[in-house]
Amino acid sequence: MPAAKCRKTVRDALIALFTLLLATATAVTRGQESPQAISLSLGDYHFTPDTLEVQAGRPVVLTLTNTDTLTPHNFTLQEAAAGLDIDTNVSAGSTSVVRFTPVKPGSYTFFCNKKLLFMKSHRERGMEGILRVIPAAAD
């Protein structure tokens, strides 16, 4: 192989390698920005699990499933300064999806706001939990 052609082949190979590395780095960066998917069951006056952990600055897709056959439930978390302003009803046997992006690390209490007249509220019966927002990962 003549020296000039050989150099061109090496150069082309380096360009291909660099392009591959760049594509990989881009894919990894995108992965960090992808939504955080969490599922929560609401039933029998409990949230399962009752503690959630998410990263600040990344969108969250929260799927709420009411596993009871008759009782409607709700997910309330109102901390506007932390990017959390949620009040979503989930009727018996159905699923609701909530999207939000927490902006401030901390521990925030969520609960079910349902209450039947003269009865204890669902929250008083144990229907509350904690959303822990941890700082964003360093880049």
Q: Which residues ranging from 98 to 127 are in contact with Cu ion (CB under 5 A)? A: 112, 114, 122, 127
Q: Minimal distance in Å, beta carbon 104 to Cu ion?
A: 26
Q: Which is nearer to Cu ion, 73 or 79 (CB)?
A: 73
Q: Is 73 helix (H, G, I), strand (E, B) or coil?
A: strand
Query: What dihedral do alpha carbons 87, 41, 104, 25 form, nearest 10°?
Result: -130
Q: In this structure, what token pair is assigned to residue 138?
A: 């360093």
How many helices (H) and strands (E) the chain has is answered by 1, 9
Which positions from 31 to 60 touch Cu ion by CB under 5 A, shown as an x/- string? ------------------------------
Q: Which is nearer to Cu ion, 104 or 115 (CB)?
A: 115
Residues near 65 by beta carbon (within 8 Å), at least 6 away in sequence: 39, 40, 41, 42, 90, 94, 95
Q: Minimal distance in Å, beta carbon 136 to Cu ion?
A: 32
Is the Cβ–Cβ distance between 60 and 99 less than 8 Å? yes
Q: Which is nearer to Cu ion, 12 or 44 (CB)?
A: 44
Does 73 contact Cu ion by CB under 5 A?
yes
Q: Minimal distance in Å, beta carbon 46 to Cu ion?
A: 9
Positions touching Cu ion (CB under 5 A) are 73, 112, 114, 122, 127
